[in-house]
Amino acid sequence: MSDLETHQAKLAPFLAQQKDGILNLIGGQSVAAASGRTFATTSPVDGSHIADVARSDAADIDAAAQAAKAAFPAWAAMDGKARKKLLHKVADAIVERAEEIALCDCWDTGQAYRFMSKAALRGAENFRFFADMAPAARDGQSLPTASHMNVTSRQPIGPVGVITPWNTPFMLSTWKIAPALAAGCTVVHKPAEFSPHTARLLAEICRDAGLPDGVLNLVNGMGEDAGRALTEHPDIKAIAFVGESKTGSAIMKQGADTLKRVHFELGGKNPVVVFDDADLDRALDAAIFMIYSLNGERCTSSSRLLVQKSIAAEFQKKLVARVNQIKVGNPLDPQTEIGPLIHQIHLDKVVSYFDVARNEGATIAAGGKAMEGDGCYVHPTLFTDARPDMAIAQEEIFGPVLTVIPFEDEDEALSIANDVAYGLAGYLWTNDITRALRFSNALEAGMIWVNSENVRHLPTPFGGVKASGIGRDGGHWSFDFYMEQKNIAIALGNHKITQLGMG
């Protein structure tokens, strides 16, 4: 039996379990949408039906918010060491079910197994990291003056809403949910409608690990119904969202009336800038990896390649050869490097840019078309002869599509790199350390990697500038969002109080 056949056989029982549909989990109970409505989720691999999913609305969100509100006082008051122990149990259970999670994410999203096999384990690492921070979550500091001792502390903000995307859905959900729980918040989670499967698995894992009822609630549904109700609900104190910039703007408007705190990780049109003094073989590997892994459906993908003109011709030649060798296929096959895109709607969006590129005068040096047959497959694509003002150089395509733009010198490279609405990440390849520091300091991006692909370190801040987001994940930056700061000023001695009304 081949590895593909083995994975298909292992996936079969999990798919069979979904015949009864994917329900919400509210207050520890599995429930259908109050309206009884459902929507169908299908696999991008072959268009086959996976399950009918609860299509929730404001009534379901209200029930989940009430459950989160009721559970909050006890969860917030729980000793940090006890929360740490519980969250480590969650991490252990994630590891035990890692293969199931990976296979479900592959079938649900089309992401290749070679990447999803690690995603669940990274999710477990997220839970462990923030579990270890839970005992010190409330720690503050003393800020004395001559007359007062100021004692600061942090307290969990309350029930929060978490809205997560369809790309690497399990792992990205843990990025938001783990720190919220570690901080002492309760959560209402609305996953993307295209990828509800592993959100249900995570909710079950947390419940079975002993998380008290109502601490983590799952509500499925569409953005315009369940999502909007969550962002508007008065008992939800904050919204953490990963997704498209336009949706982030809508969420901010919807939460305005209740003065909701928001944390957004949004889109990107991230540059990888290659100077002629770089290690070109390593730069080539990194540029390919950061756009064609995960189907190009990642916010930190390096979708613009800025390459110095003195090396552009040779670099592009090698790039075309490598792109044409990328293996596209069934995501359950460990040899597959690119699987199908998430949904026909998204495939149509990505493919539409092929005509845009032609009309703008760019060259399609590789790919440029969808694949025939069942499923949402597209050839990995490379645009060359592009100008910085073209739509393919300005807009987030969010697929396995790379746009190459040549530059003359450092000033031009920086101008091109910054001339987009986004500012999430940037990648710089040069062996000139002075240039690396100078260029990185001037690059408008929240995260920059020099002579490296995206390597995530959990204690560091993760987030973007401009249209790429608000706020930061990672380490204590996550707690800054999920917690409120409190200051208590205690008078030292009988200091003189100004007297009024004494005649």
Q: What is the DSSP string of 469-496?
A: EES-BSHHHHHHHHEEEEEEEEE-S-PP
Q: Which of 106, 299, 337, 396 is catalytic?
A: 299
For strands 401-407 and 304-308, give the pairing: parallel
Long-range CB contact pairs, 351-355, < 8 A, 24+: 351/378, 353/391, 353/392, 353/395, 353/397, 353/401, 354/381
Is 299 annotated as catalytic? yes
How far apart are alpha carbons 222 and 457 in whole angstroms? 33
Q: Among candidates 212, 163, 142, 204, which has minimal Cα distance to 184?
A: 212
How far apart are alpha carbons 400 and 355 in whole angstroms? 16
Q: Which of 125, 265, 337, 396 is catalytic?
A: 265
Q: Give the H or E element holding residue 388.
A: none
How far apart are alpha carbons 433 and 446 in whole angstroms? 20
Q: Give the CA angle between residues 298, 386, 379 to the nearest 5°.
A: 50
Residue 405 in contact with residue 388, Cβ under 8 Å? yes
* Ramachandran angles phi, psi of 425, nearest 5°: -140, 165
Is 337 annotated as catalytic? no
How far apart are alpha carbons 119 and 215 in whole angstroms? 24
Beta bridge partners of 190: 163
Helix axes 169-183, 98-109, angle to 10 degrees: 130
- Positions annotated as catalytic residues are 265, 299
